[in-house]
Structure 1
């Protein structure tokens, strides 16, 4: 998706998050650049991770729920032979069995078991709430957190390049040791809710040597790819050069909604009524044709969201279909 500059107050900003800061840090910096506190993000990236972070500004924050639910694409680097408390490079080493080498046939045999719909136990160091408290907070407080497995979809899991064997120095139980490790680059496309750290952990367990994630870059969230992402440095520089007056390079609310959802064009009368929350009233046969065109292979039931558009393409809000009628989801 292109992200042309616009003077629109509301829209989506696609940021290439740098390593070493939290997703909330990106939100805080964007609030200053956008001169508004109404900024949110879709899909948290850990501090060690980089890549696509979709931010909603003002009215566009209302799109973030659906963006969060979209599929993701990652480039991950996994180290086999060492396990950590956090299942990534930021944790303390808990096991260093080592790994003396992996061949492509052995790797492919294991990867094949993790494609498609799988059951995954999320990382204990995660933002999932357990009895009202974040799992990572419980872990840091010394609790032994056990999370329930959940179904996730991994549509692509491929190696990128060859496995690389080398010796790495680690500290374990206060002692330093050199461990034989294998690093492997992976490309992963997956459903929302998939933990790449947990995938690294499970691959290591399947190979019997343990593993952890050492780098992660998100290259796509739904329709939004790294190609249209902006660095914080470039945004800061533009703001400095303009005295803080340069418009942010936003994808407009209407452009984003039209690309994310099927569109229903409203008449002028329908648009006026919709601005007050009233959904368009269409014949059941017309609703059925809409379902057949945009939700093929399904029957009447609940479908959506659907962008409610004026004739000029401006998106006024979102609709859904309930049985044979349109219903209002929200008005921007």
Structure 2
């Protein structure tokens, strides 16, 4: 049966509350918009709060272009306690005394530096990673342990914000800047293991995904009130160069045809989500740099994101990579 045109095609950012799964958020967004095609671009654990990027309607096809961005988190690591999920929602499986040096902020920061840089990270047993079609977390809940493989990630920086001591123990509050695919629960586990006392995540908040920060997010309650007005500009989120289709190119778009590689290209002047230094500075500027083979370019027509094209050196042209029969709304930035 032919899919009916959607009323909505847009990207939003939700400030996910702690205690909800990412799938719970997707279901709420489906109900708010009355749209089945809804997906997020990067799972947040139920314990975690913060930035969750969600695509609605035909815009759900953008997900694969939005998953490669770096991420920023603030995490509270509990030292001396290990759990089966590597966070506070799991069952405690081990406790141990915390070395007294861990209470020294200077030594703690030096210790954290050991975990910066490229590394092969073992994902948590309770994760959404699939092995032969089965999710690791689903298998773990049934008492089966899947054979997970370490994954290459990069930890750009770990900054100690505070050492906190309470009656529940010793905690490190850490700002993390990491590559896609990095598990903060794994970091907490590995930090605790290296200290010899174990560690787990007590609190976790995602602060940013690429250019998108918590400042651009809305709560689910706010989304119920403002609906499509919460839409963000997909051009700002994608971080790609873009072109404005002329009348001839619009016809090519409609037929999935090639576009000239000599089309004028544009890009944002700095971070589109931040205020410009000078009000007189234009928000976009011409981009003269030659196209690189395989580079993806966004195509704007009628004020909407209409397609993503990829430059083919062999064909000497831009060829369609993802064309939207119903363009994606360009919202706030």
TM-score (norm 1): 0.82
User: Are residue 271 (structure 1) and residue 272 (structure 2) matched?
Assistant: no
CA change 1:294–1:25 in 2 (3 A) is: farther
Query: Taking structure 1 as reference, are residues 291 and 206 closer, same or farther at Cα in structure 2, changes over 3 Å only?
Result: farther
Alignment partners' CA distance in 2, 1:258 and 1:248 = 17
Q: 1:136 to 1:259 in 2, by over 3 A?
A: closer
The equivalences for 1:1-332 within 5 A come to 9-101=8-100, 102=102, 103-161=104-162, 163-168=163-168, 181-236=169-224, 238=225, 247-251=227-231, 255-260=233-238, 261-282=240-261, 293=289, 300-304=292-296, 306-310=297-301, 313-323=303-313, 324-332=316-324
What is the SS of the residue equivalent to 2:40?
strand
CA deviations on 1:237-278 (whole Å, 9 max, x unpaired) are x2xxxxxxx5433325xx313552110233310121112111
Deviation at 1:72, TM superposition (A): 1.1
Q: What is the Cα deviation at residue 211 of structure 1?
A: 0.3
- Tell me, yes or no, if the aligned pair for 1:110 and 1:206 is still in contact at 8 Å: no
Structure ranking higher on relative contact order (CA contacts 8 Å, 6+ apart): 1
Structure 1 distance, partners of 2:35, 2:160, is 42
Indicate the SS of the match to 1:301. Answer: coil
The CA RMSD over aligned residues, in Å, is 2.3
How many pairs does the alignment contain? 293
Q: Offset at 1:292? A: 7.0
Contact 1:87 1:212 in 2 (8 A): yes
Whether the aligned pair in 2 keeps the contact of 1:100 and 1:182 (CA below 8 Å) is no
Q: What 5-or-longer segments of structure 1 have no aligned partner? A: 1-7, 169-180, 239-245
TM-score calculated relative to the size of structure 2: 0.81
Query: 1:165 Cα deviation (Å)?
Result: 2.6
Whether the aligned pair in 2 keeps the contact of 1:266 and 1:280 (CA below 8 Å) is: no
Query: Is the Cα–Cα contact under 8 Å of residues 118 and 152 in structure 2 kept in the other structure?
Result: yes
| Distance change in 2, residues 1:251/1:223 (3 Å) | farther
Provide the C-alpha distance between the structure 2 equivalents of 1:141 and 1:76, rounded to a whole number of angstroms. 28
Listed as ranges, the gaps of 5+ residues in structure 2 are 1-6, 266-285, 325-333
Whether contact under 8 Å (1:277, 1:330) holds in the other structure is no
Kindly indicate whether the alpha-carbon contact (under 8 Å) linking 2:234 and 2:305 is maintained by their aligned counterparts in 1.
Answer: no
Aligned partners of 1:105 and 1:76: how far apart in 2? 18
Q: Distance in 1 between matches of 2:133 and 2:287?
A: 39
Question: In 2 relative to 1, CA 223–90 (structure 1 residues): closer, same or farther, beyond 3 Å?
Answer: same
Q: Is the 8 A contact 2:35 2:57 kept in 1?
A: yes
Asked if 1 retains the 8 angstrom alpha-carbon contact of 2:243 and 2:300, the reply is: yes
CA–CA distance in structure 2, aligned partners of residues 167 and 258 of structure 1: 45
Residues 291 and 116 of structure 1: is their aligned pair in 2 closer, same or farther, counting only changes over 3 Å? farther
